[in-house]
Structure 1
C-alpha cells in the first residue's frame, strides 16, 4: 500500500492511471455494448433459422401427416433433426397427442413453448411449435426445440475475443502512455533531479534547453534560478567562512586569554562603574584565601573581604575611591605581602566602563631580595659578613676615622694547620670547625665591632679600640677562645689554634689596601713567632725590600686594571692521539711598567692580588676578555680561563659570566672554567656551589693541578668537574721517574671510570708524549706543542693538527 502511495506521487503515474481508467471504462462499455449487439444478432439469427425451418418442415410433414404415414413421418423427423441441427421434434395430431418424435421421449411431458428467444433459457432449448397445414386445413402441430449451447458458446467466444482485444488495447495504450509519459515528464524529472542536486550542494548544476515550449521556458528559468542561487550561496559561503574565521580567531583569542589569565600567578579583577565584579581569575581567589569555585561575578566588590580568609583584607581595599593607580602594598596578618593597583578601563569612545585591579603576591620577591642582600653581604656557611662587606665597611670606617682623627684596628687571623683537618677528616669536618669558630668568636664581639669571614679559614675583625690595653685584651680573648674550643672527630680530640695579626690606622697604613697588607704581614709574623698567638704589626720585621714591594703591588695591580696593562696569552690544548687542537687556555701576564717589552708571570703578582682582594676583579676581567675573544672569532675553539679560590664565594661571578655570554652571544659550551684543586679542596663547599652554578649555565669545569693535594682521589667524588688537568709535577719528569708514570696511570684510570676527560700539562718532549698516549691521557699541553702567545690571526682553529 505504501509502495502504491509512493508510486502515485509521480505525475506520470497519475496521468497514466487516469488515462487507463478512462480507457478501461470506455472499453468496458464497448464490450458490454458489443455483447448486447452480439446477443441480439445471435437471437435474430436463431429466430430467422426457426422461421426458415417452419415452411420446410410444414411442407415435408403435411402430406404424410394427412396420410397418417407414421413411418414416413418418423423418417422425416429424423432427417430434419439431423439436417436442421434441431435438438428434438415432437409431432402432435389434431387432438394434441404425440404421434411421432425424434430426440424426445414421448412419455415425457413437453416443455412449454417459448414466446421469445433468449440465450439464458433455463432448459437450454428454444421451444417452438407450429401448425401442420395442408391446403388450408390443419392436420396437427409440430413442437421442436433449438439447442442454445452452440449459440451460447459462440457468444462466449465473441465476448472472450472482445475482452482479449480490449486487454490488448489496454496494454498497448499502457505502453504508449508510459512512453509518452516518460517523454513528457523526462524534463520534469531532470528538473527535479537538478533541484535535488542543488539542494545537496551542487550549485554548478545546469540543464540543457532542448525545446522552445513551456518545458524549455521552465528549464531556462530554472538555470537562471540555479545561477542566482549559486552566486548567493557562494557569497553566503564566503561570508560564512569569513565569519567562521573571525569566530575561530575570536575563540582562539578568548581561549588564549582565558588560559593566560587562569595560568597567571597574579590576581586579576575587573569591576564595573558600580563596583560590581565582572571577572576574576583563580589567582585572585588563591591570593585572598577565597574558594576558587566561589561565585563572585555580579557581587559587590566588598564581598571579597567577607569571603576572604581572615588575613587582614579591608572591606574597602578594592573600592573605586581607594588608592591611586600606582602599586600599593598590603601586609596581611599572616605575613603575606600583596601589591594592588588599579587602572581605568574605557570603551572605544573613551568613556570609563570600570576598573582593572591587579593583585600580586610579592612575599617571595621580598624574601628573595632580602636573601640576595643577605648573600651579597654574608658568608653562606657561617652567616658572618663576607669579603665584599668587609671592604665596604673598612673603607667607610677609615674615611670616618680620617675625618674624626680616631684610630681603627684591623685584626686578621686564620686557623693553624686547618688544611690538615680538611684532608684527614673531610670538608664537612672543616666546615663544622669554621662554624664553631664563627659562633665562638662572634659571641665575644661587641655590636660596634665588625666580624667577617674573608674566605677559607681566614677571618677579620674591624674595631675602634679605646686604648692599647683594650686592644690587647681583645686579641687575647680571641686567641684563647679559639684555643679552648672543643674539637673532636672520630673519637679524637684536636687542639685548635690560630695566628692573629693586628694593624692600626693611621699608625701602620693610611689606606685600606695597605692596612690589609700590614695586618696580613702581622699575622704571618705571629705564625713565625710560634703560632697560637697574636702580633701587632712590626715595621722592622716587615722592612725587607721584598715585603715592601708586596705592599706596593696593590697600587700596581689597581693601575693595571684601570690602564689595561694585563696581557692575555693563549696556549693550545691538543688531542693526545692525533694532535688536533681541542681548545686554548688563556694565561694572564702583566706588562712591566719599567720595560713594556717584558711580561711578568702570574706567580709574581697573583699572591698579592689574592691578599688584597683584587683577584676577584682580575678574574672577572679575564672572563670578560675570553668571552669577547670568542665572540670576535666565531671559528676559534673553546677557551679555558683560571678562577682563583678567592672568587669561589663571590655570588656575583656566575651572574657576571652569564651576562657576558648573553651580551656577546657566545654559546656557553665554548667557555671552560679551570679551578685549582688545592683551592677547591680548601674551600670545598663554595667550590661545589660554584661548579653547580657553572654547569647550570652550560659551562664545562676543569680541576687544575690535579694530584697536588693531599687527598685528591678522595675529593674527586665531591667536586663534579668535567675535566682533570694532571699537575705538571708528575708530567715533567715522566720519562725519568716511573713512580710518576704509576701515579698518572692511576689518575687516568679513575678519571675514565668517572667519565672525565684528562689533560696532561707541561709536555715538553716526544718521549713524554708517547708515554702519555700509552696510559690513555685524552689531551696534552706544553712547550712541545708551542709556547703561550698573544692572539693573532694565524692562530689555529678547532681540528687543526700540529
Structure 2
C-alpha cells in the first residue's frame, strides 16, 4: 500500500511509526483491495448510518461502565455523533497517519474516563454482530463479496483493537514509571540507610543515606556484598538475624551494633523486614540509623545524673546512696563511719568580686585537693554551691576523722593560683559519726550541718563534731511539727499561685499551686522549713490531699468565671505518689470539684519516680488514663535513665532552677539545659523552666526553643485573689527584643576604646552593644542575638581568649575576634587552634581594615546561619515526609479493612437475598432494575431475554407493579397483579430512604394459589 505517513507526537510517544503500522497491516494481510472493499461499503452504509448508529448507541447506553459518563441531553447527543463518526471512519478506506492518530487519541480518552479494555472489545463484538446482516443485504446476497468485505472489516477492526490496547498498555507503563520515580524519591529522602538484600543474603541495592553513613563510595560497588562486609562488621549475629527474618518472616527491630572507626566508636540501630512480591523472589529490607549522638547524650545524661557537672564529683543523689551503704557497714561492725560536711568560707565574696568564672575554677581546684590523699574506700562529693561531703569508712575511732579534718583544713589553706593570681581560702567542717549520730543519710547530713553551723559560729576555719547540745534546732523543729498537726484543722494553710507562661505567645497558660503556712505566732513560714517535716511525719498525705482539692476548686472557680488560662499544677510528694489509692483519690477529687481533667497537672520529681521505676510507670499510666497532664519536676537533678524516660507517660519535663540560674554564663548549665530541651522535644514532650529571674535567662530559653517558664521575672507566687486579678488583666510576658539585623558586641575594659570603636563601626549600620567586662558581655549575649564579637585581650577579670573560649561553648555560631595591643602569641595560637577565635587584630587598628574584617565576619556568620537554617528545614521536611508516609499507610490499611468488611457484608446480603422463597426486585429512581434474585428472574423469564438486572422496569414488569413506580400513592402490601400468561401475583411495595441514603423501590412478590 502506498499511503503516506507523517509521524506525529502521540505516535512517537507510543512507538507506533509508519513502519510499525505497515508491519501490523502486513501481519493482518490488509491490502489495497481490502481498502477498496471498505470504501465501497462506506458509500453503501452512509444512507442507513444514522439509524444504525442510533440503534447501536441505544445498546451502549445500558452498559454499566458508560452510565456514569452521561450528562445532559446535549452531552448525550455529542457522544452519539462522536460514536457515529467513529464507525464511519472505520469503513472510510483511508488508514494513514491521520486515522492512526485519531484511533490512538480515542483509546487514550476511553482509558482516562475509566472504560476498560473488555468494554472496548465488547462494543466491537456487538458492532460485528449487527453489521454482518446489513452487509449481506447491501451486497444483494453476493456471498463471495460479503465474505471478502466482512474479512476486510475484521482486519481493520483488529488493527483498531491493537491500537487501543497500545494506549492502555502505555498508560499502565507510565503509571508504573511515575510510581517507581515517586518511590525512588521517597527512598532518597528518608533520613536512614536502606539496603535491599536478596534471598542469598547479598546486597542488591542501597540508598544514598547508607552510602554517606558508612562512607561507601558508589552504590555499584556495594552490589553482591553481604551486609556485615558492607558495614565493616564481623560475620556472625547479623547474618543469623537476616537468615532468621528470611526463614520466618517476623520483623526484627532495634538491632544494636557498633562500628569502631579511627575517630571512635559509632553506634547504630537496625531493623530487618521481609518483602515479597507475587511471582518474585523474597527480599529483605535492611534499615539502619546512626544513633551515635543519641548514645553520647544518653551516656552524658547518665553521668550527670550521679555526678556534679562542674567538678565531676558524686552529686547529692550518689552521696546519699554512699552514706546509706556506709551506715550499713557500720551496723555490721565494720568500723566507724564519719560524714564530713565541708563549707568554703567567704566563697560568695570571692565569687562576687572575681566573677563566676573564677569561682568555677576555684571549685574545681578545691575538688582536686579534696581528692588527694583520699583512701580508695572513701568518697568525696559536691552537694551544693560551695558544699562538699566526705564519707570516711572503717575508722577505728572518731580520732581518725579528726586527723582527716585537720589534713583537709591544711590543704585548703594553701593559696590557689588562678590566672596568675593568688586566692586564699579557708573552710569549716561539721562531722557526724555513724551509728551514734544518725541512722540514715538524711539524719547524718542534718547533724553534720548542725555541727558545721557551730564551726562557723565559732570563727570558721575549724571543724566540729556533732554534739547533743546542738539539738536546739531539733527542738525548734519539734515545736514547728507540733504546730503542723493543728495547722490543717485550724485553716492555717494557704495556696499561692505562680503563673506559668507560654514563651511563644507570652500568655499565661496556668499556674503552679504552692503551699504556704501562715503560723499564728511566727507569721508566714517558708515551705523549706515545714514540708520536709510533713514528709517525715506522714502528714504530707492529708495535707497533700487538701492541696489537691483546694487547687481543683480554685481552678473550677476560674473556669466558671470564663478564664481560659486556668490549668493548675500540683506537686505530688514521694509518699503521695507511691500510695496505691492515688489514682482513686485524684479521680474522686476531680468528680467532687467538677474540674475537667485536662485542667489539672500533676508534678512528680525525677528522684521520686526513680525510687521504684516499675511501680512508677504503672502509676503514671494510671494517672494518664484519667486525662490529667503529667510533668517530671526538677529534671536533671536525679539519676533517671533515658531508657526509663521513654516509658514514662509524661507530657512535660521541668528544668530545675539550679540549671536555669547560671545558663547565661555557665557552659555546663547551658549544655544541660539544651540537652533537656532537645531530649524532651524528641520524646514529644513540652519543656518548662522554673526559677527564671532575669532577661538573660529568658532570652537563652527563647533562643533554645523552651516552651514554657515560671519565675520571678514574670511574677512571684500570688494569693488566689491577686492571681485572679492578674488573669483578668491579661498582662503578657515582657520578652526581650530579638533584633534580626547585624548585631555586634564590643568588649573592652576601657570606655574610650569602646567609644572609638562604636563611632567607627556605627556608620556600617550595625546594631552595637558594649560591655566593660566579660561577665557583662555574657549577660548581653544571653539577651541579644549577637553575630560578631570583638574583645580586648587583656581585661581584669578574664582575658579575651578565655572569654571567647567560654563564648564558643555557649554560642558556637558567633564569629569571635580578638583586638589587642599586646601580642601573646602562645595563648592566641592555642585559642585559634581550639576554634575559639576567628581572627586576631592588633591595636592601634587601621580603620578601613577593621571595617573590612568586621564586614567579612558578618558575611561568614550569615552564611553559617543560613546553612544551619537550611539543614534544620531539611530535617523538618524529612520528619514531615516520614509522618505523612505513616499516616498514608495507616489510612490505606483502614480503607482496606473497611472495604473487605463491606465486601463481606455485601456477599452475605446477596446470599440471604438468593435464599428467600419469594421474588425480590430493587428498582432505582431512573426505573432501571438494579437487584433481582433468582426467584424473580424465574418468574419473569421470557424467551430470548436475559436476566432482569440492567433492564428498565417498564420493559419487564406488569402494569400493576409499575403503578407503584411512578410516584402515585399506593398501598404497600396486599396488592395483586396478573401476568401475561395468566398467573396471578401478590406483591408488597417498599419505598427506600427511611433507614439509608438509598432511593428507589423494593418489590417483594409470590405467586398466588
Task: Tell me the TM-score normalised to structure 2 length.
Answer: 0.40
Point out the structure with max Rg over C-alpha.
Answer: 1
Kindly indicate whether structure 1 or structure 2 has the higher relative contact order, using CA contacts under 8 Å at least 6 residues apart. Answer: 1
